[in-house]
Structure 1
Amino acid sequence: MTSDTHPQDNIEPAREVDRYEASSLTFSPGARAIIEDLSGGSGKLHVEVVGAKQCHYILFHYPKSLSDKFALEDNAPVLVRSMCRNHHLCAFRTTVIKNLKAPVRLLILRYPEQFDALNMRRYDRIESVVRVEIFFQGNDYKGVIVNLSRGGCRIIVRSEPGVELPTLNKDNEVFLIFTLPGHDEELTVAGQCREVNLSGERLSVGIAFMFLPDKMAQIIDDFVLDLKSWLRL
């Protein structure tokens, strides 16, 4: 374990927004997206991709409970945010072709000409405050996840009366259990310590996730997307 201090544990590198031609934009059925009504009528709505015809249109499905709220008119301007296949946050402006409510609820949008992508690092990461249990060598410790991506997280553990800090070192393997706000499912994730820094009674650990199932990765992606959208990042 090292004793170096890291005052910039939660400081993100400069974020660059890159613009691409829409011909490189792909949509996978089942992918989640957030659509913001730029005319101010419907607010932000969570939808699911049904399909798309490149350079022509994109189809989204939305829940029955949103049928009344989803009052988008033809040609209404919208902003769409979604996780791209490269796990960057993609965004583009477009307009509504048709909002169908029967026989199925489908929102048809015009395919954009261009889209923006937040290029930050290999995996999109967000600052967070999520309680976590860390299991290591038969003992469990309580900490807080201070930033998170599908690739890993950073955890802060502080010493408590009668509880020693875990003696973690680089390459040690741990198990983490946590629940993300807005999601009921408890996540149990294996991870490997990539960076361990001790400063007084504060332990900072950078952890890379190991063997993360697709379902858990999607839950983390959804959480990051929701939080970035709410923060307007």
Structure 2
Amino acid sequence: MKEKIVKLQLALFYKQPDFRPDSSYSDINKEMGNLFNAMPQVMNLPNNVPLDIPRVQMRDELNKYACNMAPIRTDFFINENHDSEENWPEIVKDFKAKSSLFIKSVLSRHEIVRFGLIGNFFIPDKSSSHTMTKKFLKIDLQNAEEINLRFNNRSSSHGYNLNNITSINTAFAGTSTGDEKGIFIELDVNNVPDEKTMDQASLNNLIDKIIPTFSPDQVKGLVK
């Protein structure tokens, strides 16, 4: 089975809300090397709209890199659009370099109390229901139209309590030749927030520790 990398995401959550993310998006883009070179979208939403809904959306012209800014969080994305697992080392190198700039820029403006590191992956598999049934279940669901699994293994690292959430489901992915049947896997590692704020070194160290668990061998091992 050859894995395809869909997306990597880093989310940073603020201690206090910022109701004017439109005032800083240009500086964040500049501090990240003007990475987001497409026209930004700025939405004038009232403060009673849920605070996790983005007010500013930035992206590059190729839709590879994106940044969403909401009053209580800012998210950085690398959209790999089903890139091959052979490119994983280069993807990680690129993600870590740009995430470091992202962290530094956001921390210069906000106190951060929570982070989330998310990876989305797709494994083509014409017998996806059978694969998941054989791996996880004792009942015969190989003809099921849809199977969804989700579990959370708590751990700790660098003084933080972490949620390690794994979501696995049968899915169809759109490709240039049509829909492809397979297994969609999302890995979401985030800390249980407390009163402690997070610094740049801690965030970079956590990414260094977690990102190897997103490798193709680790992800494919979830369903082998």
Larger Rg: 1
After TM superposition, the score normalised by the length of structure 1 is 0.24
Question: Higher helix fraction: Structure 1 or Structure 2?
Answer: 2
Question: Higher strand fraction: Structure 1 or Structure 2?
Answer: 1
Choose between structure 1 and 2 for higher RCO, CA contacts under 8 A separated by at least 6 residues: 2
